[in-house]
Chain A
Amino acid sequence: MEAVLKLENVSKKIGKKTIIDNLSLSVQPGEVFGFLGPNGAGKTTTIRMIVGLMKITQGDIAICGKSIQKDFEEAVSHIGAIVENPEMYKHLTGYQNLVQYARMHKGVSKERINEVIQSVGLTNRINEKVKTYSLGMRQRLGLAQCLLHEPKLLILDEPTNGLDPAGIREIRDQLRTLTKEKGMSVIVSSHLLSEMEMMCDRIAIIQNGRLVDVQNVKDFLDTDQLAFVVETGPLDNSVTWLKEDWGVEILENGFSVLARKEEIPALLKRLIDSGVDLYGAKQVSKSLEDRFLEITDMAGGQING
């Protein structure tokens, strides 16, 4: 299957500074793909290059096989995007705003506009001026704006920013519907890691303009090996076998170990048999956040000045 989005060795230099360094990745149809990275990592710059707001210094970006540099109009017609905040014409109503954008695409009917308004839940307020809208309503209008022409690739920069929990959940459900039923691909960027866990199929971790890692969210979270912390009295000479057989890390009053769940009873039994006082054992779940910090930390946690 042809990738919806393909970045090939993309670099961006502003002056002498390299903002994006040799980035390559691809997004498949029907996939929710996340850009994750600390502030200033280059997420938004990457998105701006994908939608053609910024020029690419080196490499190329193709959307549905069309180069954004050589074939801009064709390539960008497959994209619906919100870049940073969805800024609209504040002196127009929500509906008038959507009509503005509908005029710039081919074949967006009145029915289609109303259908989109319905789907983002703005029917009741659509004839009010945008300056009376809350941030959450603007987000919804922004989403409506990029769905009008039924794009193949949806790009949402921080889509849940400013939404209440119910709104966040709604957006999430909507993304599921769009990807699963209409086969749309979605790129989201967010600093809310827990959000990314719930929304994305794959996540690219970007740092200092480099791609650190691309992971499946499932693999990211469900490794067989779980981390446990075991609280004990003095370990004495049990330390030797613990280290040799289990590879534990000794803590102040106990140790931590990576193991599969079913192996734990055997470990605890042997501890008791060795006469070590056992006070407790608990699983420490490893969230995406830990993994994220771990990975970015390995790559050096400084924002390049």
Chain B
Amino acid sequence: MVNLIINEWVKHFRKAGTYVMIGLILLVVIGVGALEKYEEIKNPTFNPDWKEELQQQIADDKKFLEENKNDNIDSMTERNIAINEYRLENNLPPSPEKNIWSFVYDANMAVELAGLFTIIIAAGIVASEFSGGTIKLLLVRPISRSKILLSKYITVVLYGVFYLAIIYVFSCILGAILFGMPNSDVPHLAYVDGQVVERNMGIYLIGLYLLNSINLLMIATMAFMISAVFRNSSLALGISLFLFFIGSSVTYILSSYFDWVKYILFANTDLSVYTDGGPMVDSMTLGFSITMLIIYFIAFHALAFGIFKKRDVSA
């Protein structure tokens, strides 16, 4: 099994495209860093009057809350008020100077790019063996088809983790160089069950990266399934990227009209709503979302493995 994963890994690392992908990810992180450094030099962010500003903000939010009655927006506003009040009580300015953590937080937009590349790999990893004809030489080995497919899936997941690690580690290094470590401890403030809690920033960020990548993992799994079932990488790539980019926004729009939206994959992929803010549909809970994710996950794999094992290979 380990040998199979090494094989897959080698096949990808001998391709020029893999290095282009890594290069692009690094470039995006560097780009974000350069922009923020430029901003910082141009207008220093620290505002000595932050307490007054926050009080004004809280007053505005409270007024807004009384005038509007919309569940989704309300929960957001309540959360903002709570966090801002907490900041006033504990003397925690909202935007301290840029530091390594704020940069790592901003760099997490590169996770989208990592997702994109992981989906590209997932879409091609089975289909390309069929289109190249190499599937024949791969399947006449003393290794069951399930093991071969599983090794490919594990490779996809490893690639995703690999890209995430690159972003996290690289943005930590770059952030430390460009902005330095924070002077004092900067906790992350989360709003849970009407309470504001302080969290360690480094761990919060790793958690944020992993939560962000659930969406990535599910769509990569779907791309992998389509690739294994239809043996067509363009189809797998097309459908998956389409859903990757617009899936959550369409689901979000639908969620204000229909209740069944909660059964859609994309309503459940963002688990961070349960720690910061509220879910799309009020009746959803963390347990519900995890159950839905597991059901989708198993369904994708049942399809991929079931069909791949039975298929007559005539490529």
Q: Is the CB of A100 within 8 A of B10?
A: yes
Q: Mark B131-151, 1 if CB is under 8 A from A, else 0.
A: 011101101111110000000
In the bound assembly, the distance between CA atoms of A153 and B140 in angstroms comes to 13
Q: Mark B1-22, 1 if CB is under 8 A from A, else 0.
A: 0011011001100110000000
Task: Look across to chain B and name the residue whose beta carbon is closest to the beta carbon of A80.
Answer: B140
Q: Is the CB of A104 within 8 A of B134?
A: no
Q: How many whole Å from A114's CB to the nearest CB in chain B?
A: 19
Evaluate whether A88 and B15 lie within 8 angstroms (CB atoms) in the complex, with A53-B313, A54-B314, A73-B142 already known: no
Q: Is the CB of B4 within 8 A of A104?
A: yes
* B42 is an interface residue with CB less than 8 A from chain A: no
Chain B residues whose CB sits within 8 angstroms of the CB of A145 once the complex forms: 137
- Interface residue ranges of B129-181 to A (CB < 8 Å): 132-134, 136-137, 139-144
Q: Mark B107-123, 1 if CB is under 8 A from A, else 0.
A: 00000000000000000
Q: How many whole Å from A36's CB to the nearest CB in chain B?
A: 21
Evaluate whether A48 and B137 lie within 8 angstroms (CB atoms) in the complex, with A74-B142, A104-B143 already known: no
* B312 is an interface residue with CB less than 8 A from chain A: yes
Q: Is the CB of B11 within 8 A of A89?
A: yes
Residue from B3, B6, B142, B313 whose CB has the most chain A CB atoms within 10 Å:
B142
Task: Look across to chain B and name the residue whose beta carbon is closest to the beta carbon of A44.
Answer: B314
Task: Look across to chain A and name the residue whose beta carbon is closest to the beta carbon of B310.
Answer: A55
Partner of B141, one of A74, A90, A91, A105: A105
Provide the main secondary structure of the chain A interface.
Answer: loop
Q: How many whole Å from A5's CB to the nearest CB in chain B?
A: 14
Q: Is the CB of A73 within 8 A of B140?
A: no
Q: Is the CB of B144 within 8 A of A84?
A: no
In the bound assembly, the distance between CA atoms of A84 and B136 in angstroms comes to 9
Evaluate whether A92 and B141 lie within 8 angstroms (CB atoms) in the complex, with A48-B313, A84-B136, A103-B3 already known: no
- Interface residue ranges of A43-73 to B (CB < 8 Å): 48, 51-55, 72-73
For chains A and B in complex, what number of residue pairs have CB atoms within 8 angstroms? 73
Task: Look across to chain A and name the residue whose beta carbon is closest to the beta carbon of B134.
Answer: A87
Chain B residues whose CB sits within 8 angstroms of the CB of A103 once the complex forms: 3-4, 6-7
Q: Is the CB of A87 within 8 A of B132?
A: yes
Q: Is the CB of A100 within 8 A of B142?
A: no
Task: Look across to chain B and name the residue whose beta carbon is closest to the beta carbon of A106.
Answer: B142
Evaluate whether A100 and B143 lie within 8 angstroms (CB atoms) in the complex, with A85-B133, A88-B137 already known: no
Q: Is the CB of A90 within 8 A of B6?
A: no
- Interface residue ranges of B296-315 to A (CB < 8 Å): 310, 312-314
Q: Is the CB of B11 within 8 A of A53?
A: no
* A101 is an interface residue with CB less than 8 A from chain B: yes
Chain B residues whose CB sits within 8 angstroms of the CB of A85 once the complex forms: 133
Chain A residues whose CB sits within 8 angstroms of the CB of B313 once the complex forms: 48, 53-54
Task: Look across to chain A and name the residue whose beta carbon is closest to the beta carbon of B2.
Answer: A103
Q: Is the CB of A96 within 8 A of B137?
A: no
Partner of B312, one of A54, A76, A88, A92: A54
Q: Is the CB of A87 within 8 A of B312?
A: no
In the bound assembly, the distance between CA atoms of A81 and B313 in angstroms comes to 14
In the bound assembly, the distance between CA atoms of A91 and B14 in angstroms comes to 7
Q: Is the CB of B11 within 8 A of A100?
A: yes
Chain A residues whose CB sits within 8 angstroms of the CB of B132 once the complex forms: 87, 89-90
Q: How many whole Å from B238's CB to the nearest CB in chain A?
A: 24
Q: How many whole Å from B8's CB to the nearest CB in chain A?
A: 10
Chain A residues whose CB sits within 8 angstroms of the CB of B312 once the complex forms: 14, 48, 53-55
Task: Look across to chain A and name the residue whose beta carbon is closest to the beta carbon of B128.
Answer: A89
Q: How many whole Å from B270's CB to the nearest CB in chain A?
A: 37
Q: How many whole Å from A15's CB to the nearest CB in chain B?
A: 12
Task: Look across to chain B and name the residue whose beta carbon is closest to the beta carbon of A73.
Answer: B142
* A126 is an interface residue with CB less than 8 A from chain B: no
In the bound assembly, the distance between CA atoms of A77 and B140 in angstroms comes to 8
Chain B residues whose CB sits within 8 angstroms of the CB of A92 once the complex forms: 10-11, 14
In the bound assembly, the distance between CA atoms of A220 and B40 in angstroms comes to 90
Partner of A53, one of B7, B10, B136, B143: B136
Chain A residues whose CB sits within 8 angstroms of the CB of B140 once the complex forms: 51-53, 76, 79, 81, 83
Partner of B15, one of A54, A82, A91, A104: A91
Chain B residues whose CB sits within 8 angstroms of the CB of A77 once the complex forms: 142
In the bound assembly, the distance between CA atoms of A54 and B145 in angstroms comes to 12
Chain A residues whose CB sits within 8 angstroms of the CB of B143 once the complex forms: 73, 104
Chain A residues whose CB sits within 8 angstroms of the CB of B133 once the complex forms: 84-85, 87
The 6 A-B residue pairs with the shortest CB-CB distance in the complex, in nearest-first order: A87-B133, A77-B142, A103-B3, A53-B313, A104-B141, A54-B312
Interface residues of A (CB under 8 A from B): 14, 48, 51-55, 72-74, 76-77, 79, 81-92, 96, 100-101, 103-105, 145
Q: List 12 A-B contacts (CB under 8 A).
A: A48-B312, A48-B313, A53-B140, A54-B314, A55-B310, A55-B312, A79-B140, A84-B133, A87-B133, A91-B15, A92-B14, A96-B14
Given A87-B134, A103-B3, A104-B142, 17 more contacts at CB 8 Å? A48-B313, A52-B139, A54-B313, A55-B312, A73-B142, A76-B141, A76-B142, A83-B140, A87-B133, A87-B137, A88-B134, A89-B132, A91-B15, A103-B7, A104-B3, A104-B7, A105-B142
